[in-house]
Amino acid sequence: MSHISTAHPYFGIFLMLIFSAVIFFTLVFLASKIGNSLAARNRKKLGLGIYECGPIPLKQANKINSQFFIVALVFILLDIEVVFLFPWALIFKDLGWFGLWEVVIFILLLGIGFLYAYKKGAFQWQSIR
């Protein structure tokens, strides 16, 4: 007799995980092999051509200001706040006063972080020059 216990409630989920992982890696392997076999054999000619249409670029394009990334990070932080507030709003009546104080503390902590970013100048736009 086998020593594998199939009575565990998560055994089926474990089998599905293993099965899907095998399928995934098999498809990735097959796609790689099929792609390599169907790819053009003359890669040198392809590598010497211009990637995009138009003239050959003579200088590098403008630099992207790092301020874009800082604003994006602050936006993501505030966006995640909304994601955490939505489930709280759904069960607000069940939580009572305890739930209200939890969310007030949560918003205060995020407000402190927002004020910190403001004081550090995260929202002041600087010139690229």
Q: 91-121: per-residue pLDDT in tens?
A: 888 888 888 898 899 889 888 988 888 888 8
Its pTM stands at 0.44
Q: Which two tokens stand for residue 88?
A: 């709280």
Q: For the packed helices 67-90 and 92-119, what is the interaxial angle rounded to 10 degrees?
A: 170
Give yes or no for a contact between 9 and 3, defined as CB atoms under 8 angstroms apart.
Answer: no
Q: List Cβ<8 Å contacts ≥24 apart for 20-25.
A: none
Q: Is residue 55 part of a domain?
A: no
**Lowest mean per-residue pLDDT among 12-16, 54-58, 66-70, 71-75:** 54-58
Q: Whose CA is closest to 73, among 17, 105, 113?
A: 113
Q: Is residue 104 part of a domain?
A: yes
| Domain ranges, residue 30 | 11-44
- pLDDT surpassing 80 at residue 71: yes
Percent of the chain with pLDDT over 90: 16
More confident residue, 55 or 35: 35
Give the side-chain half-sphere CA count within 13 A for 93. Answer: 1
Q: Is residue 96 part of a domain?
A: yes
Q: How confident is the model at residue 45 (pLDDT cuts 50, 70, 90)?
A: low
Q: Is residue 62 part of a domain?
A: no
Domain count, the chain: 2
Q: Is residue 6 part of a domain?
A: no
Q: Is residue 129 part of a domain?
A: no
Say whether 34 sits in a helix, a strand or coil: helix
Say whether 77 sits in a helix, a strand or coil: helix
Q: Which two tokens stand for residue 75?
A: 């936006």
In this prediction, residue 82 carries a pLDDT of 81
Q: Is residue 74 part of a domain?
A: yes
Q: Is residue 51 part of a domain?
A: no
